Each structure stands twice: as C-alpha cells, then as structure tokens.
Amino acid sequence: MPQNRLASMLVAALAVVSLPAGAKKPDAGEASFRALYKQLVEINTTLSVGSCTEAAKAMQARLVEAGIAAADTQVLVPPQRPKDGNLVATIKGSDPSSTAMILLAHLDVVEAKREDWVRDPFKLVEEDGWFYARGVSDDKAMAAVFTDSLIRYHEEGFKPRRDIRLLLTCGEETSDTFDGVEWLIKEHPELTRAAFALNEGAGGELDEHGKPIALQVQAGEKVYQDFRLEVTDKGGHSSRPTKKNPIYALSAALGRIGAYQFPISVNDATRGYFKAQLELAPQAVAEDIKAVLADPPDAAAADRLWTLNPSWNSMLRTTCVATMVDAGHAPNALPQRAGANVNCRILPGVPLEAVKNTLARLAGDADITINAVGEPSPVGHAPNLSPTIMDPVRKVAETIWPGVAIVPTMATGATDGRFLNAAGTPTYGLSGMFHDVEGSHAHGLNERIRVKSLLDGRHFLYEVVKLYANAKE
C-alpha cells in the first residue's frame, strides 16, 4: 500500500541507523543493538544468492568480541550446503541439573527483487518511525534481539540457573529444500533438547491510535501438507465421448472435498484465544464464540464466525482446499489425466493418515489416487500454556504495557517450531513486537517493523528470558 515517506536520513557513525529529527538519542546499549541489527539485516541470506553462514559467523563474532568464550559458540555447517550455516551459542547456567531453554530464530529470508521495492531490500532504512528491508521483521528482528540479549547478560554478569542456548538457523523459509532445525535434530540432537523454546509466531496488536491492546503467546501450529489427487483414462477422440472422463471425476471429488468441514477441535491455545476475544467482541459475536466453545460446538455459529474472520475458522479445525488443477493434453482429445493439489493445514496432534483417509472417503472414487506430496511434516501436539510459561509473560508485560491483554493463540501457518515440538521440545511463539492492522508485509514488498515495536520487543524479551532462565523446574 502506498505510504507518505520522508527522504531517508544519512547513516551515522559506527554504522548506527540515524534517528528521525527530534528523537531522543539512544543509550549505548541501544546504539550497539542498532548496529548489530543493521549488520544482520544487510547480509543477504536468501536461498538464491545469500549466505546464512556469513550471517551466523557475523553474529558469532559479535558474541566473542563481547567476551563470550569462543568455546561456547559454534557455527555448524552441513557438509553439502556450505552457505546454510547455523549458529549455536550458550550462556551456561549455575545449576547443572536444570534443563536448558532455547532461543530460536531463523537467519534466512524470502527472496526480494530490487526493482519491485521502493527501497533497496538489503539496505536497512529508517523512515517515519519504521525500519524497512527484507527480514526486518521475519525473522532478523528476533535473531538480533536474542543475540543482543546474550551479549547484555554476559556484560552484566548475569548468571542464569539454567543454560540459555541460542539457535540461529537457516532454511525456515525454504524447508522443502533444507531446514537447519530439522538438520540439527538429526545430526546434533543434544543441541535441540530443552525444557522449552521461544520462537517466532506471535506478536501483538495495536489499536488505531498505536496503543498495544493484545500481546500474543503462540502454542502449537498447524501442520502443512499437500496431497496430489489424480485420475487417469485411456483418452480418445473428443467426437466420441465415453462414460468415464477424468475431468468430471476429479471435479466431482473436489466439489465434495470443498463442501466438507472438518470437525471443530479446541486446544488450550485456541480456547484461551477465543475467551480473550469475548472481552473485545460485540455481543452477537461473543454469543457465537460461546456457542462454538460449548460441547457440542454450534455449527451455525462457527459458520458465522468463518464469514466474519476466515482466520478464526482456520484456528478451529483442520482445513483442506484445492489450490491447483491440471488436466487434458489437447482441445480435441478426451483427457487421459486430471490432477489437483489439495493443500491441508492440519491441527496439532491429528495424524496425516487420518486426513488422507478423509480425503479418500470424500473423493468416493477408487480410480482417484491420493498421495502425500514431499516429505511429510512432523506431527506434534500443541504445548501446554502452564503458569510456568504464562506468569513471566504477564509480569513483564504489565511493567511495559500496563493493562495489555495476554492472548494465547495457535499459528495457522508453519514455523520451525513444528520440528522442535515433534521432537519433544515444547516451543512457544513470543516476541513482544506489536503491529498495526496492516502488519509487517512479511514475505511481501517493502517489509517493515515499527522502530518502537522492535525496541519494546528487545526490552520485553530481554526481561522475560531472565525470568525463564532463573525459574525452578
């Protein structure tokens, strides 16, 4: 969306992004963070021409320069993928019997073409209270904050009870090609075992005046899985139609799949989310939410909520939708083949085979083959939102954003958390970085993040991690 923009200001000394006119000069800690963030954002980490290894080594150098022992940091690079390096760094705890916690962020970013952007996507620009560049939000904001936090803990002499393990990984955006978390689980499983992990996946909501109104805590995410439906026939001349036509057979099957609604299933995160919405929604919407949370859930109320907000429907149930079709080989020939891709987003804990069986039942035609596409995603259950997780969030949030609502949520998309959850490490999305209704444009043109949101998130994560790191198990 077009925006009114001021000309960008010159970059100040020490590679620190210049401040807008009239803004307060940052303290030394903030200046160091800005320099680190700028360096990380401006390292191209796209799959095509970038290098996560370069970014991982740059962040490793920052940690070592700050005094963290080199032996407590390592860049792990897959032998066949020299640009897909992953940084692991640890601040050791005082209690060897305590289980580590993980701070997870990904270094890689989505592709960006200079000719499509208003600004160079690989140069950090600050304008009108916003940072612009590829990765400023997804996910170099959290990668920079976590790296900066470790530096601050070391410089301040903070000694946590449990180990704090930083994982800056590669491949989250292109996990069908390579995923660093998945690779670490297979090759270095000891580094991915932890009491829990903090990850991307949740932010916060601002009202129309820029006031924080809801801080999200994400627990669990839906599983991404494509299925290929295909039906074949011998074909023939189009002047002599037969009773069997792959296009008609596939179309009928897709119609039945499209008309079907998977059952509603509510977990801790989605129940908490909708209970929070009761306080914010108009009365009629609140009544529908109550009806959906009842046992059994009200299907008509769920349908009205779907119309109001498609994301709500996606949080309540597994969804499968046709996204691509291909059929026929000539305009004057009977089709020999018709195929379709059906994309499913599956609730945590639901077996892939159960969804495949449902699709086969709905297709209702033994001639239609149904196969999972690619390597099946791991299936894990949504982690519990216990007081151990929620109490530190509430405590720190109240000091920074008094009165803000704490809203549990479940991701309808996918992050690297799916690998850790399936491997037995409960993983929670938590950033403390708030966005307005237009969002960050992540994956799109002119990706952005509010400067204040980034700095507030830095403050929040620094404090909440300290509480988690000192908590008794």
pLDDT tens, position by position, 41-87 = 999 999 999 999 999 999 999 999 999 999 999 999 999 999 999 99
Q: Report the alpha-carbon distance of residue 68 to residue 91 in Å, rounded.
A: 8
Which are the contacts of 49, defined by CB distance < 8 A and separation ≥ 6? none
Contacts of residue 160, Cβ cutoff 8 Å, sequence gap at least 6: 91, 93, 94, 153, 466, 469, 470
Mind listing the pLDDT tens digit for each residue in 236-286?
999 999 999 999 999 999 999 999 999 999 998 999 999 999 988 899 999
Q: What interhelical angle do 352-363 and 246-259 show, nearest 10?
A: 120
Rg of the Cα atoms in the chain: 24
Transcribe 58-102 into DSSP letters.
HHHHHHHHTT--GGGEEEE--TT-TT--EEEEEEPPS-TTSPPEE
Long-range contacts of 293-297 (CB under 8 A, 24+ apart): 293/266, 297/264, 297/266
Cα distances from 147 to residues 60, 142, 350, 409, 436, in angstroms, run 9, 8, 35, 26, 26
DSSP β-ladder status, 236-237 and 333-334: antiparallel
Which DSSP symbol is given to 174?
G
In angstroms, what CA-CA distances link 246 with 243, 365, 370, 393? 10, 11, 14, 55
Q: Is the CB of residue 437 less than 8 Å from the CB of residue 211?
A: no
Distances (CA, A) of 159 to 91, 92, 290: 8, 8, 46
Q: Given strand 337-346, what is the order of strands in its sheet?
A: 319-327, 337-346, 223-232, 369-372
Tell me which CATH code domain 223-372 carries: 3.30.70.360
- 33 φ/ψ angles, rounded to the nearest 5 degrees: -65, -45
- Token digits of residue 32: 């160091």
pLDDT the model gives residue 6: 31
Contact indicator for 144, 40 with CB cutoff of 8 Å: yes
The arrangement of secondary structure in 13-201+415-470, i.e. its CATH architecture, is 3-Layer(aba) Sandwich (3.40)
The domain ranges of the chain are 13-201+415-470, 223-372
Q: Return the DSSP state at 336.
A: S
Per-residue buried b or exposed e for 355-387, using 16+ beta carbons within 10 Å of the residue's own CB: bbebbbebbeeeebebebeeeebebbebbebee
pLDDT of residue 28: 59
Do 165 and 102 touch, CB atoms closer than 8 A?
yes
Give the separation between CA 205 and CA 272, rounded to whole angstroms: 16
Token code pair at residue 45: 């980490």
Residues of the chain falling short of pLDDT 70: 1-28
CA atoms within 13 A on the CB side of 452: 15
Q: What residues contact residue 140 under an 8 Å CB cut-off, 6+ apart? A: 37, 40, 41, 105, 107, 109
Residues 401, 180: Cα–Cα separation, whole Å: 35
Q: What residue ranges in 33-188 does DSSP mark as E strands?
A: 73-76, 86-91, 101-106, 125-127, 130-132, 164-169
| 466/473 Cα distance (integer angstroms) | 14
Helix H or strand E encompassing 456: helix 451-470
Euclidean distance between the first and final Cα of the chain, in Å? 47
pLDDT of residue 18: 41
Long-range contacts of 400-406 (CB under 8 A, 24+ apart): 400/432, 400/456, 400/459, 400/460, 401/212, 401/215, 401/456, 404/204, 404/212, 404/213, 404/214, 404/215, 405/213, 405/214, 405/215, 405/276, 405/279, 405/280, 406/214, 406/215, 406/217, 406/276
pLDDT for 20 equals 43
In this structure, what token pair is assigned to residue 242? Answer: 């037969």
- What is the model's pLDDT at position 457? 98
